[in-house]
Amino acid sequence: MLLAMKALYTSLFFLFFTALSAQDLPYRSIPDVPEGLYAQQAMARMVDGLGFRFYWASESLRPEDLAFGPEGEGRNVMQTIQHIYGLSVFTMTSLDKTFEAPKAADTYEELRTQTLHLIKAISDKLQRMDNASLQKVEVNGLPFWYLINGPIADAIYHTGQIVLLRRMSGNPTNPKVSVLRGVVGN
């Protein structure tokens, strides 16, 4: 009985902490549609879509969800979140050679927070760039376009893996999330 109460208390504390820390995080909803249609805005919107999806894929994960993954050589959920953080760092350093990433956090909540803020910084950076700046971006010696099919697409792909793995571990994402509209609806 005491063990069950302790587990309940720990779960409630974890949910309460998650709810408090989520208040300051970007991408609970997707930003408004930008005015006009320019390459920078289109790219930023793609990154915002990643941020929204990642926010809800990584929201309220339990320890058993974080440890869940395929047997063998595949990544578990926590390792996948770490990978998405690394892809975000790679993307930001490709856009801004002066960017210095902080050491990735060890805890789920801190890593999630860092990743969401980094994704937002990528979107903000893209929105401030002009065409000439975009044309100067290099990704391991390749032009800007490789950011799209490389780390950005990869991060979206891995976010979908988190959605699948958490469903398999018995903690599916909020069914009211609309990835099309970028909101949580009824």
For 40-166, where are the E strands, in sequence order?
138-139, 142-143
Is the alpha carbon torsion for 138, 120, 85, 75 positive or negative?
negative
Place of tokens 């890593």: 111
Per DSSP, the three-state class of 177 is strand
**Are 36 and 122 spatial neighbours (Cβ–Cβ below 8 Å)?**
no
Q: Work out the pLDDT band at 1, boundaries 50, 70, 90.
A: low
pTM, two decimal places = 0.85
| CA pair distance 161, 41, nearest whole angstrom | 26
Is the pLDDT confidence value at 10 over 60? no
Is the pLDDT confidence value at 164 over 60? yes
Domain 2-184 maps to which CATH number in 1.10.3370.10, 1.20.120.450, 1.10.10.10, 3.40.50.1100? 1.20.120.450
Give me the amino acid identity at 156: I
Looking at residue 102, its pLDDT comes to 86
Determine what percent of the chain is predicted with pLDDT higher than 70: 87
What's CA 48's distance to the chain center, in Å? 9
Give mean pLDDT, residues 153-161.
98
Residue 92's closest CA among 131, 139, 49, 160? 139
